[in-house]
Amino acid sequence: MPPLLSLNQVCREFQVRGRQVVAVDTLDLAVEEGEFVTVVGPSGCGKSTLLNLVVGLLPPSAGRIVYRGRAVEGINTAIGYVTQKDNLLPWRTLVENVEIALEIRGAAKNERRRRAGDLIGQVGLSGFEDHYPHELSGGMRQRANIIRTLIYDPELILMDEPFGPLDAQTRIVLQDQLLKLWRASRKTILFITHDLVEAITLADRVVVMTSRPGRVKHIAAVPIPRPRDVYQIHMSSEFREVYNKLWNELRPEVAPA
């Protein structure tokens, strides 16, 4: 069976002040259905560009993006996208933000409210349904950002450093919640982070990218059994082994000699 998503020799260039900048260079990557793949790399290595290419907001300069065996042109609505900024609509309450994808699809109001309420409960936001985004903390907004994507059940979910701006404790709690949501739904997730511990904790496979131009440097499987305990996992010897291997790959990219 072909992979759910594959990128073949994908390049993307930008014009910045008249100069040609290569953000993503001859990148090859395949993601299998049901897989949790994380991508780590130094900042500015084209990770966000990669996601914008996959979802179809940006066309590649060269190469092909194949989804379920077919080349994709334009926005691929089978894919959900959780951005780094929470991007909640500030004039909508929490529940109105969470249900917006169902509203777009024309679902009945009580059906929308029921499913939004379920998800809000699962991530511990019950009681905040009628709050506006500015009345919520960063962690709460990011949870809302994630569940408003889960609610319409996209086959593949892209996540761009969704826990990046959060404090360490909140991150761990949200990682745990994300793994539980993922296990219940068996979605395919492509998750970008700059945090190697987070990448290993969550992933079936970790992709290391080179610094600009972004290219796949190394892919490592994470042979740690699931369900995983995100609070304890980093103390296991398997974790340390994967971590050391990946850090050796990543270090020359982060710290220029």
Partner 1 sequence: MTGRGRLFVYRLLFGFVLLAAWEAASGRLIDPFWVSRPSDIFKYLWGVFADGSIFGHLAITLYETFVGFFIGATSGIALGFFLARKEVLAQVLDPYIVAFNGIPRIALAPLFIIWFGIGPNSKVILVVTVVFFLTFFNTYAGVKGVDVELKNILRVMGASERQILFKVTIPATVPWIATGLKISLPYAIVSAVVGEFIAASKGLGYLINYNTSLFSTTGALGGILILALVVVLCNEIISRAEAYLLRWRPRENGRKSNELY
Contacts with partner 1 by CB under 8 A lie at 55, 57, 75, 77, 79-81, 83, 85, 87, 89-93, 100-101, 103-105, 132-134, 152
Which C-beta is closer to partner 1: that of 67 or that of 239?
67
End-to-end, the C-alpha distance of the chain in Å comes to 42
Which C-beta is closer to partner 1: that of 46 or that of 80?
80
In 3D, which of 70, 51, 62 has the Cα closest to residue 4? 70
Burial class (CB within 10 angstroms; exposed 0-12, middle 13-18, buried 19+) of 106: exposed
Residues 6+ apart with CB under 8 A from 118: none
Alpha-carbon distance of 89 to 226, in angstroms, equals: 35
Report, in Å, the least distance between residue 141 CB and partner 1. 13
In 3D, which of 184, 200, 213 has the Cα closest to residue 245? 200
Report, in Å, the least distance between residue 45 CB and partner 1. 21
Amino acid at 212: R
Report, in Å, the least distance between residue 241 CB and partner 1. 37
Report, in Å, the least distance between residue 70 CB and partner 1. 18
Report, in Å, the least distance between residue 147 CB and partner 1. 13
Alpha-carbon distance of 181 to 183, in angstroms, equals: 6
Give CA angle at 178 (177, 183), nearest 5°. Answer: 100
Report, in Å, the least distance between residue 140 CB and partner 1. 15
In 3D, which of 134, 140, 37, 139 has the Cα closest to residue 91? 134
Report, in Å, the least distance between residue 184 CB and partner 1. 21
Q: Which residues pair with 193 in a beta bridge?
A: 40
Which C-beta is closer to partner 1: that of 145 or that of 201?
145
Which C-beta is closer to partner 1: that of 43 or that of 77?
77
Q: Which residues pair with 216 in a beta bridge?
A: 209
Which C-beta is closer to partner 1: that of 103 or that of 167?
103
Alpha-carbon distance of 76 to 65, in angstroms, equals: 11
Residues 6+ apart with CB under 8 A from 14: 20, 21, 23
Which C-beta is closer to partner 1: that of 148 or that of 212?
148
Which C-beta is closer to partner 1: that of 78 or that of 224?
78
As a residue count, the chain comes to 257
